[in-house]
Amino acid sequence: MAEETAAPKKNVYISLHKSFVHEGIKYTDKKTGQEKTFNVVRLPGDTVIDGKDVGGCEFSPLYVNPSKFRGENWRDIPLLADREVQLRRDVRDIEGNPIVGEDGKREKEVIKVMPDQIKTALSEARKRYAEEHAKDERGLAERADAAKEASDSMEKDGASRPLDREGR
């Protein structure tokens, strides 16, 4: 009996909301002078790979496609399954300001991961988010009433209500 070997998967597909994906960023190639484009994807907060929070890290995929299954506000990003992805983010000081090197450029932290690790981390982050937000079983109207009551009680205690954008 011949052993059947499954063909290794060629691509890993990651789906993210369009707010995390910037498509078609234009730049001029310094060598040729041609105008070209690239894409940037930023990982959502609380994305954890190997115990390290990589939320806010960015990478530049070659392709970004409209999502086939999640709707118009989602994007599918195909990544080669056997090729590392370099996640980058600015190195920051204690106050949160970017650190600039001697060459005048911002210093970057680079983390190399495999596409499957990104996909798994995003899935786990979505599960954690859903569990955290499922705890509050009150409806929107009930939560709004609770917020109004809290605001009214602050006014009674002498605290003023914060002004809205129009200063009212």
Mean pLDDT for 77-98 is 92
Residue 110, pLDDT above cutoff 90: yes
Residue 22, pLDDT above cutoff 70: yes
**Are 54 and 87 in contact, with CB atoms under 8 Å apart?**
yes
Name the percent of the chain lying above pLDDT 70. 83
pLDDT at 152: 78
Q: Identify the residue whose tokens are 């105008």.
A: 35
Mean pLDDT for 11-36 is 94
| Residue 99: alpha-carbon gap to chain centroid | 22
What is the pLDDT of the chain when averaged over all its residues?
Answer: 86
Residue 68, pLDDT above cutoff 70: yes
Backbone angles phi, psi at 107, to 5 degrees: -75, 140
| Sign of CA pseudo-dihedral 135, 139, 142, 147 | positive
Question: What is the C-alpha radius of gyration for the chain, rounded to an integer number of angstroms?
Answer: 23
The two structure tokens encoding residue 139: 């409806």
pLDDT tens digits, residue range 28-63? 999 999 999 999 999 998 999 999 999 999 999 999
Residue 18, pLDDT above cutoff 80: yes
pLDDT band at 1 (very low <50, low <70, confident <90, very high): very low
For residue 26, the SS3 value is strand
| CA distance linking residue 144 with residue 150, whole number of Å | 10
pLDDT at 116: 95
pLDDT at 143: 77
Which residue did the predictor score with more confidence, 133 or 70? 70
Residue 144, pLDDT above cutoff 60: yes
The two structure tokens encoding residue 52: 């390290």
The residue ranges of every structural domain in the chain are 11-156
pTM: 0.70
| Sign of CA pseudo-dihedral 29, 31, 83, 43 | negative
pLDDT at 15: 94
Amino acid present at 23: E
| CA distance linking residue 138 with residue 136, whole number of Å | 6
| CA distance linking residue 13 with residue 143, whole number of Å | 37
CB neighbour list of residue 61: distance below 8 Å, 6 or more residues apart: 39, 41, 77, 78, 79
